[in-house]
A and B are shown apart, each in its own frame.
Chain A
Amino acid sequence: MSAYIIRRLLYAIPILIGVNALTFVLFFVVNSPDDMARMHLGGKRVTDQAIEAWKEDHGYNKPLLFNEAAAGTAALTDTILYEKSIKLFLFEFGQSDSGRDISEDISQRMWPSLAIAVPTLLVGLAINITFALLLAFFRATYLDFWGVVICVAMMSISSLFYIIGGQFLVGKLLNLVPISGYDTGLHAWKFMILPVIVGVIGGIGSGTRWYRTLFLEEIHRDYVRSARAKGLSEHWVLFRHVLRNALIPILTGVVVVLPLLFIGSLLVESFFGIPGLGSYTIDAINNQDFAIVRAMVFLGAVLYIIGLLLTDISYTIADPRVRLD
């Protein structure tokens, strides 16, 4: 098992190199730093001096790959590739284009993200599994049929609708909780509740339907027949035999997104004014702050790979058949 984990971690290295190379190409080769500077300074009539000054300010004034002017290893390290890309491996994200310390920002902003994302995930999971079990228990009845129809209808609604609708209904018409904003400490609940509810409702349609499919797939297996042949009641069969097996794909599907909870939801956070990493990213995109976007891409990839690893490990815990080596 530990050998497996080490191997997977080693395997993560080429993947992160790949991610890094891709972002490097995307951010520095497709458009030169000059282009970026011109973009930021606005339009075409920008003097060369202004461009140089901007590049100087933001550390883009070095050669891309190889610094002929520098001596020794500095020829390799005093470059954009090293400063802006390779340092990501050390989680040194540097400064954003607006001059803030990205690492500092991230460490502060991940907590509000978690405060929204974790309850959304847990509550959603509980509700979706409950509904799916209900539909599976009443399979091939009208309840099941209409349940599925409602699920399909709910997943056909844009997530923007849930957010805007929720804000409008709860915040504006009923005036129950503030529409947006955030507070520290325990007072945060007032601001958390609406985004969580909206997030949960938005996920019910697809979640319930997907879990129902998993349950039904298990219900048709041979071992369920033998469990029934033992004389077990239908709900016992469902809760003990079917649920145990269906939980394996459900749990592992959840585990893979766990690390990504740090990043939070881009949409929900920006709509509800939550100062998390999601809105951080959106703001960066809107302000065309490439340093932040680059950092988030790398961070996202790292978290995804951790998620994959956790998934594999959770398989060994949830499923006695799986052994990693």
Chain B
Amino acid sequence: MSSIEAAMHKVQTPAEPLLAVDALTTHLGSQAHPVRAVDGVSFEIRRGETFVLLGESGCGKSMIALSIMRLLPHTGRIVGGDVKLDGKSLRALSEADMRAERGGRVGMIFQEPMTSLNPVITVGEQVAEAVRLHDPDSRERVAARVVELFRAVGIPDPDKRVGEYPHQLSGGMKQRVMIAMALAGRPEVLIADEPTTALDVTIQAQVLDLLKDLQRETGMGILLITHDLGVVAEMADRVGVMYAGQILETNDAERFFDRPRHPYSRKLFRSLPKAEKRSEGLDVIAGIVPPLDQAFTHCRFADRCELAFDACRTTLPPWRGGDADGFRCHLEADEVRDQDAPLAPAASDRHGDDTALLDVSGLKMHFPIHKGVLRRVVGHVKAVDGLDLKIPTARTVALVGESGCGKTTVGKAILQLHRPTAGRVEFDGVDLAHVRGAELRRLRRDFQIIFQDPASSMNPRMLVEDIVAEGMVAQGIGGNRAERRRKVEQLLEQVGMQAQAANRYPHEFSGGQRQRIAIARALALEPRLIVCDEPTSALDVSVQAQVLNLLRDLQRELGISYLFITHNISVVAYLAHEVAVMYLGRIVEYGAVEAVLQHPKHPYTEALLSAVPVPDPDHERAVIRLEGDMPSPVNPPSGCHFHPRCPQAVAKCRESYPDTVTLSSGRRVACWLASEGQRGD
């Protein structure tokens, strides 16, 4: 860069914000009782800059994006403030003029690539629509331009892909198509609303890389909306923290991670699960987000803030600092500190005997595929294909993998909710796969399950009392109604709920509370093993911390074993003792959690771990890029299932599936490289 260019660059950037959002206020619902989804939000984005809006669900961050695009649902309306693109007010534009900007100078991509594309129009045509609208130079050569765009977003084989329909593409590819669509108008600003939340980490890494590359090439400004501090660290130049419709803090990304100033921001960091916090437990944010159908006259975080004092509960907090780096609090920056004493170290892990409570060997779960006139079985979806796993008493074994690897099926097969195709599931010496009917029903007492989605895991038409007591009734334990009621109340208190909750319906509780009720329900039968199927992935970070703490404490008190099924590596680091990494129906690596996470032996584990964004901008990470998507479990690749994507694959990997090698201290790896000692430690 010549010095003149550099000088110009310097002059230009700070002066002209590309996108300026000024005191934007958006209401939803009726005029009389509006929900103040966005309440006076201001921020600016410059060319080539990425501004990240960080916030938990329901804080109004998506509504900001839709307000900028003027695509609010019809109950929503912008009631105040302005959005300026290059100095021109978007709010003042006529609808026709606004359409020229939408997809033109402002592009947008959405969270759900699965549903965001029209299922009956080819992806090429959907991108072509945008080209024809916004790219007058390419009118003559639309098809070529579409291929060009596909190539630009890294879609392999673009000539062929343009003629395909959305359902023929994987989630990651669909999101690339969405990006191509947004790029068609050569946007100056790209709004990305949780663009990677629905994707697996390895795919997330690909998409985030793509966005960064595109930004470097085109110099567009990016407004990225996310709930994931890791993504923030990965992408952000500047950050705005949102809470209940307002920005509580903005700052440079570096300074933000270095020293968050708002009590809420600090809490967020402290509630992130990490390996280092294993002994002390996670910090939690008590209470829930206040409803937004009120006009606030005090700090909206006051009810949940441990530093709150009288002023917080009576007056609105002032904005401290400049527009670009300030925060909204009654306290000065140096007054905000983590007041709470370090959490009392909980009782250390109980060490159960090492005999396995659950011993799964050779577990197979094949779902037949029928075809032809007579519906003959022509193949199998090999969801689980030969899996060995042991869970000792009072320990947590994490089962990690990307979506479609079969981890949820493992959980259901162990619980005999699906009958395994082959293999043994020995629980305390009894092979569950061969027990049926009443006998199995009686045994079910000892192993329970907690599901991912607390909204659908409880019958909306039953009282919490009946939900928690259901298992006791089914097993014929817990005595008469009054005794069961006492037991239910006791269980609710055990999971940190009030006993009165028993008289209410599930929908009256928040997600985190419902997950506690679900835990109470599982505990009611005093099980010895609980399968936790992604129990926190539908929850916000601060709520997740509550649930994780609870699960850990219960294990220490009651000596329960957990099979913890998850895709979230940081939760594994915090909670698990052993970890098993799954790929395409098989375990590729197994071992003690520290060992596997610190020194992965299998190339897949290595790639998976490297793709996880770490909430620390200084963290130097070299993402191992995995090519393509996980193959279909119908016909897995010959040889090692991972070899088509493996950066280190050798000839042997293509030929046969590697034997599982047992290394020191129970570590097992299924990789030719590991067994040949090339990668041993």
Interface residue ranges, A against B (CB under 8 Å): 3, 6-7, 10, 140, 221-223, 225-233, 240-241, 244-245, 248, 318-321, 325
Docked Cα-Cα span, A241 to B184, in Å, equals 19
Bound CA span A248–B371, Å: 25
Q: With A241-B118, A325-B371 in contact, do A226 and B178 touch (Cβ < 8 Å)? A: yes
Cβ–Cβ contact A231 & B99, under 8 A: yes
**A231 contacts B104, C-beta separation under 8 Å:** yes
Closest to B134 in A: A231
Residue from A221, A225, A240, A244 with most neighbouring chain B CB atoms (10 Å): A225
- Given the known inter-chain contacts A3-B371, A231-B102, please indicate yes or no for A225 contacting B120, CB distance below 8 A: no
Contact-residue size bin, chain B (C-beta under 8 Å from the other chain): 35 or more
Asked whether B120 lies within 8 Å of A245 as measured between CB atoms, the reply is yes
Chain B's nearest CB lies how many Å from the CB of A172?
Answer: 48
**A319–B120 alpha-carbon span in the complex (Å):** 6
> Across the interface, which residues of A come within 8 angstroms of B71, CB to CB?
225, 228-229
Report the separation of the CA atoms of residues A232 and B374 in the bound assembly, to the nearest whole angstrom.
Answer: 47
Q: Check if A226 sits within 8 Å of B116, measured CB to CB.
A: yes
B103: chain A residues at CB < 8 Å are 229-232
B481 at the interface (CB under 8 A from A): no
Residue of chain A at shortest CB distance from B74: A140
CB distance from B99 to the nearest CB of A (A): 5
15 residue pairs bridging A and B, Cβ less than 8 Å apart: A3-B371, A7-B375, A225-B71, A225-B110, A226-B117, A227-B126, A229-B108, A229-B110, A230-B181, A231-B104, A231-B133, A231-B134, A232-B129, A245-B120, A321-B165
- Please encode chain B, from 88 to 109, with 1 for each CB lying within 8 Å of some chain A CB and 0 for all others: 0000000010011111100110
- The answer to whether A320 and B134 have CB atoms under 8 Å apart is no
**Taking the complex as formed, is B372 at the interface, i.e. its CB lies under 8 A from any CB of chain A?**
yes
B13 at the interface (CB under 8 A from A): no
| A interface footprint on B132-154 (CB within 8 Å = 1, 0 otherwise) | 01100000000000000000000
Chain A residues near B101 (CB-CB < 8 A): 231
Query: Which 4 residue pairs are nearest across A and B when measured between Cβ atoms?
Result: A231-B103, A230-B103, A231-B102, A222-B115
A-B contacts, CB under 8 A, total? 91
A231, B100: Cβ atoms closer than 8 Å: yes
Which residues of B does A touch, CB under 8 Å? 69, 71, 74, 96, 99-104, 107-108, 110, 112, 115-121, 126, 129-130, 133-134, 165, 167, 178, 181-182, 184-185, 371-375
Contact partner, A320, options B120, B126, B181, B373, Cβ 8 Å: B120
Q: Looking across the interface, which residue of chain A has its beta carbon closest to that of B184?
A: A230
Tell me the nearest residue of chain B to A6, going by C-beta: B373
Chain A minimum-CB-distance residue to B71: A228
- A83 to B26 alpha-carbon distance, docked (Å): 76
Q: B99 and A245: CB pair below 8 A?
A: no
Distance (Å) between the CB of B187 and the closest chain A CB?
11
Q: B102 is contacted by which of A10, A140, A223, A230 (Cβ under 8 Å)? A: A230
Which residues of chain B are near A140, meaning CB under 8 Å?
74
- Rounded to whole Å, the gap between the CB of A323 and the closest CB of chain B is 10
- Give the complex CA separation of A223 and B384 in angstroms: 34
Chain A positions within 8 Å of B102 at CB level: 228-231
A226 with B120: CB separation less than 8 A: no
A241, B121: Cβ atoms closer than 8 Å: yes
Taking a contact as CB atoms under 8 Å apart, the answer to whether A7 and B165 are in contact is no
Contacts of B374 in A (CB 8 A): 7
Least distance between A257 CB and chain B CB atoms (Å): 23
> In the complex, how many angstroms separate the beta carbon of B68 from the nearest chain A beta carbon?
11
Which chain B residues border A222 with CB–CB below 8 Å? 110, 112, 115-116
Bound CA span A225–B115, Å: 10
Q: Does A223 lie within 8 Å of B133, measured CB to CB? A: no
Complex Cα distance, B118 from A189, in Å, reads: 43
Q: How far is the CA of A248 from the CA of B120 in the complex (A)?
A: 10
Sample of 13 more A-B contacts, CB < 8 Å, known A7-B373, A226-B108, A325-B371: A3-B372, A226-B118, A228-B71, A228-B102, A229-B102, A229-B103, A229-B107, A229-B110, A231-B99, A233-B99, A241-B121, A320-B120, A320-B167
Once bound together, how far apart are the Cα atoms of A259 and B610, in whole Å? 60
Q: Find the B residue at minimum CB distance from A140.
A: B74
Residues of A within 8 A of B69 (CB): 229
- Distance in angstroms between the alpha carbons of A230 and B103 in the assembled complex: 4
- Which of A10, A226, A320 interacts with B110 by CB under 8 Å? A226
Task: Tell me the bound Cα distance from A325 to B371 in angstroms.
Answer: 6
Contact of B120 among A3, A229, A233, A244 (CB under 8 A): A244
Q: A230-B129, A231-B133, A232-B99 are in contact. Are A225 and B181 (CB under 8 A)?
A: no
